[in-house]
Structure formats: structure tokens, C-alpha cells
Amino acid sequence: MTRLFLRFCLTLLLMLGLTNCARETIIVQEVVCPQPYAVAPPCPSPSDKNLVSVPPKATAIKPRPISDKPLIIIDPGHGGKDLGAVSLSKPVYQEKNLNLASARLLEGFLKNQGYRTIMTRSDDSFLTLEERAELAKAKKGQLFISIHYNSAPSRNAEGIEVFYFDSDKEKERTQDSKAMAQAVLDKVIAATGAASRGVKHGNYSVIRNTTSMPAILIEGGFMTNEKEMEKLKDPQYLKKLTLGMAQGIDQYVQSKRKEKK
Ligand SMILES: [Zn+2]
């Protein structure tokens, strides 16, 4: 898989004479997650804005328009000294790594769909919750998704839930966040067959303080449920899950566009 991916990147490099994909490869190799999560995200397609930012040669393909799709901030929860949830069975999996691996996959899928993305962290660094929201606003993000995995005292707790912040002062943002949460939940459940715990209000700092954009927080499954953890260890399952997230975000964006027409 990794060899195939490298060959694909090399071919792209030779064809386009660009370096972004190589950079992507290096980042992938630096993944600090446990082995099953060292999954390479899909290589950005040639239509990716970053790739075409290099001046084209005289005979090169004509420049493509810059994507008019919204800038999406992807927030892999926890990081550094903050491990987040941990699995009960050994080897012990840490939520911070699972979040980062998922965020990278989501980033790849979104880029392939023409979205611009920024990650609040792209390695195992620690950021406060306030720093995450500040970064999202400073970068002028237009949508925000925070990725987490769950834990509970009961080992039977299972399923996926998506949170949005309910604010009387920000009616439109609340409505938009709720619509995005529902679209993401629907697609993720369809993609994985996991149990749905629904769309819920959540008073979490990152979705409360990202005041200038619709924001959601997804809990993608319970690390304390042995059956669910087994699924989460499988890179193929994680791909389905994150592809579902990307499809949900895209569906929300498309429906907003139709509303405006
Ligand atoms: Zn978490």
C-alpha cells in the first residue's frame, strides 16, 4: 500500500515537477501513531490549489481557478501531554493519535474534493482549547470540525455522536452547525454501519468559541468498547469513517449553495 502510494507520488512528481506530494509523503512518515494508524491520506489531486500555486511553465497546462469552496479547519483533539481517551485492551491506543490519523485522512479526502483545509495541529503537539479556536478564527476558517473518540465507564457504550453549540445570540451559526452535524452524522453512519447516538447540543470550548463559523465536534466511537475499538484499529474502517465525514461536509456545503441560489 505504502509502496503503491510512494510510486503514485513519484509519478506525480515526474509529471508535474512539483514537490508538494513529496512533502506530503514525508509528513506521513513522521506519523507518531501506532502502526495501524500510519495510513497515508490520499495524495492531493492535481486540481489541489497548493499544487497549482507553482508558476506554470510556458507549455504547461493552463492554470486552474482557485477553489471557491469554503476553507475548512480540521481540529484533531488532544495532543502532546494530553492523551485523551485510551483503550482498555492492550496494546493501549491513545485518542490523540487516533484523532490525528483521522484528521489526516479527512484532510486528504476534502482536498481531493477541492476544499482548502488547515489543521490546528499536524503533529503530536499540545494546544489549549482556546488556541485552537483562536487559530481557526485567525486563519479565517469558514467551517470547523473537531475530531474525537469517546470513553465511558460502561464498556457497553457504543456509537457515534456529533455535537454543535446552541447559542441564542448566534441563531444562524447554530442552525448551520446543526445542519452540518446532521449531514456528517448521516453520512458517517451510512458509511460505517455504526450505531447512531444522534446530533446533540454540546457546550465544548472549541465549538463555542469558533464564533465566526459553523462548528461541530464528532465523537467517532468508543475506545472503551472492545468491539468498537477493534473496528477503529482497522485502517480501512477509519477510511470509511473519515470519507463519511468528508461526504457529510460536502453535502452540507452543497445544500447551502442551493439555498442561496
Ligand atoms: Zn477527546
pLDDT tens figures, 60-113: 555 555 668 999 999 999 999 999 999 998 899 999 999 999 999 999 999 999
Q: What is residue 4's predicted lDDT score, i.e. its pLDDT?
A: 52
- The residues spanned by each domain of the chain are 2-53+66-260
**CA-wise closest residue to 247 among 176, 200, 183, 178:** 183
Q: What is residue 197's predicted lDDT score, i.e. its pLDDT?
A: 98
pLDDT tens figures, 148-174: 999 999 999 999 999 999 999 999 999
Q: How far is the CA of 42 from the centre of ligand 1 (A)?
A: 25
Q: How far is the CA of 8 from the centre of ligand 1 (A)?
A: 34
C-alpha cell at 75: 481540529
Q: How far is the CA of 235 from the centre of ligand 1 (A)?
A: 19
Q: What is residue 61's predicted lDDT score, i.e. its pLDDT?
A: 54
Q: Is the pLDDT of residue 178 over 60?
A: yes
pLDDT tens figures, 117-155: 999 999 999 999 999 999 999 999 999 999 999 999 999
Q: How far is the CA of 226 from the centre of ligand 1 (A)?
A: 17
Q: How far is the CA of 13 from the centre of ligand 1 (A)?
A: 37
CATH fit for domain 2-53+66-260, picks 3.40.630.40, 1.10.287.110, 3.90.700.10, 3.40.50.720: 3.40.630.40
CB distance 228 to 221 below 8 Å: yes
pLDDT tens figures, 13-66: 434 433 333 333 323 333 333 434 433 334 333 333 333 333 444 445 555 556
Q: How far is the CA of 187 from the centre of ligand 1 (A)?
A: 21
Its pTM stands at 0.77
Q: What is residue 51's predicted lDDT score, i.e. its pLDDT?
A: 34
Q: How far is the CA of 83 from the centre of ligand 1 (A)?
A: 8
CB distance 160 to 213 below 8 Å: no
The pLDDT of 221-226, averaged and rounded, is 97
Q: How far is the CA of 100 from the centre of ligand 1 (A)?
A: 11
Cα 34–chain centre separation: 18
Element (H, E) at 231: helix 226-232
Q: Are strands 215-222 and 160-164 parallel, antiparallel or unpaired?
A: antiparallel
Distances in Å between the Cα of 150 and the Cα atoms of 2, 35, 67, 160, 224 are: 29, 21, 34, 9, 7
C-alpha cell at 231: 473496528
